[in-house]
């Protein structure tokens, strides 16, 4: 694996700034990468490609919140030189670590902005985000390996929209992402602990839960042509774990846009609403969604609206990520509060 070219002058400046009195072009004798490189090179299968690293990456750019929060959860903030594409505040217990990582953009950064950080590894939760920055081939020509979340590779991303899933998503693909990133960075034990923690939280949240007969609708954003969850993405994981039914389980599109007349006709028992901080679409915040639902003549007579049965979820929880576990916990707690669990 070749790394992006750095001039000798930049090398010297970087080493002097860090207080490492080693010769330019050489590695510090205290380099953690050198200490850990005994088990390298390492290769993982990712989205039909083989990704090879010669040592643990030291200058990582994460293009999406989902991959960022996994890397932070693995204790890798010191290896990160940039994040981007945020829908929500970072998880509270990761705030301090995240504060040490530069945010390159709230949304999708430019290719030039990413390259300015001289990355030696680039990650993304979504193939579409990676493509909007640059192709994986273009990064590869610079010697920069790229990684896409396995959960996104498992769906058909061709055409417009957010893709189509032939098979329902499972948390196993999120666990695979955690394990592969942990392997790449030589922190396998941290990865396994994180997987076990997430499994335990799901088991605890759903023990004895039976929401059969309860129908759910997931609204991500946009009030003119709302994005509602189809059968088989992260909302499908949440719905399946609590034993409920998604009123739009008859579409395999990840986030189809559905008109309000159809929504009202399905009349779900509970509305799960994205509560986002970004400002790309209309009705990003849950409060904006509720205002619309309670004032719109088509939706205000829906049972869930009349009864105020709303569940607010982060955008990250409604996409495949470690936050999906938060979604399971919050939906379960709200269904219990609404008196809808057996």
Please tell me the predicted confidence (pLDDT) of residue 329.
98
Please tell me the predicted confidence (pLDDT) of residue 15.
35
Domain membership of residue 204 (yes or no) is: no
89 Cα distance to chain centroid = 13
125 Cα distance to chain centroid = 5
Q: How many domains does the chain have?
A: 2
In the 3-class helix/strand/coil scheme, how is 254-268 assigned residue by residue? CCCECCHHHHHHHCC
Asked whether residue 257 falls in the same domain as residue 280, the answer is yes
- 171, exposed or middle or buried, with CB in 10 Å at 0-12, 13-18, 19+? buried
- The residue from 199, 234, 249 where one domain ends is 199
Asked whether residue 43 falls in the same domain as residue 189, the answer is yes
The residue to which tokens 């470690």 are assigned? 322
Domain membership of residue 11 (yes or no) is: no
* CB atoms inside a 10 Å sphere around CB 48: 7
Give tens-digit pLDDT for 286-341: 999 999 999 999 999 999 999 999 999 999 999 999 999 999 999 999 999 999 99
Give tens-digit pLDDT for 31-65: 444 554 789 999 999 999 999 999 999 999 999 99
* CB atoms inside a 10 Å sphere around CB 266: 15
The residue to which tokens 């896409």 are assigned? 148
Asked whether residue 265 falls in the same domain as residue 153, the answer is no
Please tell me the predicted confidence (pLDDT) of residue 244.
98
Please tell me the predicted confidence (pLDDT) of residue 11.
38
Asked whether residue 296 falls in the same domain as residue 317, the answer is yes
Q: What is the CATH number of the domain that holds 282?
A: 3.40.50.1980
Give CA torsion, residues 234, 238, 239, 241, to 10 deg.
130
Q: What is the pTM of this model?
A: 0.88
CB 286 within 8 A of CB 314: no
Asked whether residue 224 falls in the same domain as residue 181, the answer is no
Quote the domain boundaries for residue 267. Answer: 209-337
pLDDT tens track, the chain, 342 positions: 333 333 333 333 333 333 333 333 333 333 444 554 789 999 999 999 999 999 999 999 999 999 999 999 999 999 999 999 999 999 999 999 999 999 999 999 999 999 999 999 999 999 999 999 999 999 999 999 999 999 999 999 987 789 999 999 999 999 999 999 999 999 999 999 999 999 999 999 999 999 999 999 999 999 999 999 999 999 999 999 999 999 999 999 999 999 999 999 999 999 999 999 999 999 999 999 999 999 999 999 999 999 999 999 999 999 999 999 999 999 999 999 999 997
Asked whether residue 187 falls in the same domain as residue 318, the answer is no
Asked whether residue 223 falls in the same domain as residue 137, the answer is no
- Cα dihedral sign for 200, 324, 114, 181? positive
Domain membership of residue 261 (yes or no) is: yes
Domain membership of residue 23 (yes or no) is: no
Asked whether residue 48 falls in the same domain as residue 194, the answer is yes
Asked whether residue 186 falls in the same domain as residue 332, the answer is no
At a CB cut-off of 8 Å and minimum separation 6, what does 242 contact? 206, 209, 211, 214, 328, 331, 332, 335
Q: Which of 171, 331, 302 is nearest to 244 (CA)?
A: 331
User: How many residues are present in the chain?
Assistant: 342
- The residue from 170, 199, 228 where one domain ends is 199
Asked whether residue 181 falls in the same domain as residue 236, the answer is no
What distance in Å separates the CA atoms of residue 115 and residue 71, rounded to the nearest whole number?
20
CA distances from 101 to 15, 16, 68, 72, 118 (A): 19, 21, 10, 10, 14
Q: Which of 292, 36, 305, 337 is nearest to 185 (CA)?
A: 36
Asked whether residue 143 falls in the same domain as residue 113, the answer is yes
Please tell me the predicted confidence (pLDDT) of residue 37.
73
Domain membership of residue 280 (yes or no) is: yes
DSSP designation for 253:
B
- The residue from 199, 231, 252 where one domain ends is 199
Asked whether residue 123 falls in the same domain as residue 265, the answer is no
Domain membership of residue 26 (yes or no) is: no
């Amino acid at each position: 694996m070749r790394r992006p070219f750095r001039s000798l002058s930049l090398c010297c400046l970087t080493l002097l700034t860090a207080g490492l009195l080693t010769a330019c072009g050489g590695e510090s004798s205290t380099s953690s990468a050198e200490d850990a490189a005994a088990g390298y090179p390492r290769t993982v299968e990712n989205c039909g490609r083989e990704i090879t690293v010669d040592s643990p990456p030291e200058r990582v750019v994460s293009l999406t919140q989902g991959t960022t929060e996994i890397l932070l959860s693995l204790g890798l903030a010191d290896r990160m030189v940039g994040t981007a594409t945020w829908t929500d505040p970072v998880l509270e217990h990761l705030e301090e670590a995240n504060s040490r990582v530069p945010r390159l953009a709230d949304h999708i950064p430019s290719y030039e902005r990413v390259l300015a950080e001289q990355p030696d590894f680039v990650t993304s939760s979504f193939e579409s985000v990676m493509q909007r920055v640059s192709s994986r081939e273009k990064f590869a020509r610079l010697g920069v390996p790229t990684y896409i979340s396995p959960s996104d590779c498992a769906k058909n991303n061709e055409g417009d929209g957010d893709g189509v899933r032939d098979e329902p998503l499972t948390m196993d693909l999120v666990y695979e992402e955690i394990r592969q990133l942990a392997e790449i960075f030589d922190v396998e034990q941290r990865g396994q602990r994180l997987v076990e923690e997430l499994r335990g939280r799901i088991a605890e949240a759903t023990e004895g839960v039976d929401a059969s007969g309860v129908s759910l609708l997931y609204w991500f954003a946009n009030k003119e042509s709302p994005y509602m969850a189809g059968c088989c993405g992260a909302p499908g994981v949440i719905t399946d774990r609590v034993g409920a039914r998604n009123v739009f389980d008859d579409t395999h599109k990840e986030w189809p846009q559905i008109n309000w007349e159809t929504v009202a006709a399905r009349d779900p028992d509970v509305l799960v609403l994205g509560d986002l901080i970004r400002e790309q679409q209309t009705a990003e915040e849950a409060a904006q969604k509720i205002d619309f639902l309670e004032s719109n003549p088509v939706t205000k007579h829906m049972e869930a609206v009349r009864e105020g049965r709303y569940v607010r979820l982060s955008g990250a929880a409604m996409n495949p990520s470690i936050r999906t576990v938060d979604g399971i916990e919050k939906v379960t707690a709200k269904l219990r509060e609404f008196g809808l669990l057996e």
